[in-house]
Amino acid sequence: MGDPRLTPARGDIAAKYLEGKVAAARFVRGETFAVIDAIAPLRERPAADAPLLTQALRGERVTIYDRNDEGWAWGQLQSDGYVGWLPDAALATPLTAPTHKISAIRTFAFPGPSIKLPPAEVLVMQSTVTIVREDGSFAVTHDGLFLPRTHVSPLGRNESDFVSVAERFVGTPYLWGGKSSLGIDCSGLVQISLNAAGIGCPRDSDMQEAALGRPLDKAERKKLQRGDLLFWKGHVAIANDAETIVHANAHHMATVIENMNAAIARIKQAGSELVAIERL
């Protein structure tokens, strides 16, 4: 069987496309749903206290293969293929196709065309929405939310420098499994930043090491460039320039920019060697 993080298969049920590849009591085609919460947790087990694997953001599509009687749905994110349990209440049948994405690291959604109204909710970067019209300085969604026009971008419009996106998350609290400015982990920061630049990216650091860029040799490592990715076992950082990195990390419990050599030495002292540096 393939990577369990990316393989929707259990002993009792599996995705239809895996038939003949994995053993399961039954195979189902699944049904596509959209995430309607601002941020929905994807958990290891169908329980609120289960470990957080990753997060699904507003508008993200999920293929659901199973549901239980306690309000949980088991499926696979269509964006990066991650498999886990989501709250059923965070999902709904998609009614419209997304047209825009949130380009600010987070923004308020208002119930009407005034910033003086109490916000209806907070949406985060890379959430997708369907914009149906403009109203002054607002973009209006199909379900009547008013978003600042400067905080949304058409789906095809991408950031030119993914490192500058990562820099905008400096100060964000560290959260294992998080991928928003309310809480983010090391690989979530890389994924969100690359996605904002229109570059596909797997979820976890080991997947990113395997899928992104090319490894640098010893000579090339002496002249790091902005955007190079540094990998340790279970951790990833982005070269900000030849001397500094930006990364979400549990040492600071935040996203920080710090001296590269100091970080490498600290992480080595904690027992983890730098295993690769890759250039996109």
Which residues face 280 on adjacent strands? none
Half-sphere exposure of 215 (CA within 13 A, CB side): 8
Question: Model-level pTM?
Answer: 0.96
Structural contact between residues 141 and 148, judged by C-beta atoms closer than 8 angstroms: no
Calculate the alpha carbon distances from 32 to 29, 74, 94 in Å: 10, 12, 8
Neighbours of 111 (CB within 10 A): 13
Q: What is the DSSP letter of 151?
A: G
**Around Cβ 265, how many Cβ atoms within 10 Å?**
11
Residues in the chain: 280
Q: Which of 178, 177, 278 is nearest to 231 (CA)?
A: 278
Q: Output the tens digit of pLDDT for each of the chain's 280 residues.
A: 689 999 999 999 999 999 999 999 999 999 999 999 999 999 999 999 999 999 999 999 999 999 999 999 999 999 999 999 999 999 999 999 999 999 999 999 999 999 999 999 999 999 999 999 999 999 999 999 999 999 999 999 999 999 999 999 999 999 999 999 999 999 999 999 999 999 999 999 999 999 999 999 999 998 999 999 999 999 999 999 999 999 999 999 999 999 999 999 999 999 999 999 999 9
